[in-house]
Amino acid sequence: MKVLVAEDDSNFQALLKEILTEAGHQPFIEENGLLAWNRLNKDGADIAILDVNMPKMTGFELLKKIRTSEKYKNIPVIMLTIRGFANDQVEGYETGADDYLTKPFDSHILLSRLKVLERRIIKQRAKKKQN
């Protein structure tokens, strides 16, 4: 799966790249929401993992752009952020996030949640082929 990652922390960028690559995914990592939006429009993605606090465009702002885009509105999105308060999580879900993980995170849980979303993508693609 092509996974768009919007993350401004270089340590988390490296960690996510390693985790995703070892799991057989193709990560596209950008350091802010604006670059991630441009990358999504250029290369597409199957799933997005977004940090919330980023320069130029926050993860919530990027998520809103994704959900209002005709082309990308159905892409599964995981928010991955240090913002773990209930109101932050509610905002993420209300903005359209499919899942919300807080940092620090367990790589096995992240990969398990990616697999859940991947199964949904596979079902949607199979359904489209039938129609």
Helix (H) or strand (E) holding 20: helix 10-22
Give me the pLDDT at residue 84, please: 77
Helix (H) or strand (E) holding 121: helix 107-130
Domain ranges of the chain: 2-130
CA angle 124, 70, 75 (to 5 degrees): 40
Orientation angle between helical segments 10-22 and 107-130, nearest 10 degrees: 60
Q: Each residue of 57-79: pLDDT tens digit?
A: 999 999 999 999 999 999 999 99
Task: Give 2-130's CATH code, choosing from 3.20.20.80, 3.40.50.2300, 3.40.120.10, 3.50.50.60.
Answer: 3.40.50.2300
Give me the pLDDT at residue 128, please: 77
Of the candidates 24, 25, 23, the residue with the CA atom closest to the CA atom of residue 5:
25
Split the chain (131 residues) into runs of 10 and give each run's mean pLDDT: 96 96 97 97 97 93 96 95 85 92 93 94 82 69
Residue 60 exposed, middle or buried by CB count within 10 Å (0-12, 13-18, 19+): buried
Separation between Cα atoms, residue 97 and residue 40, nearest integer Å: 16
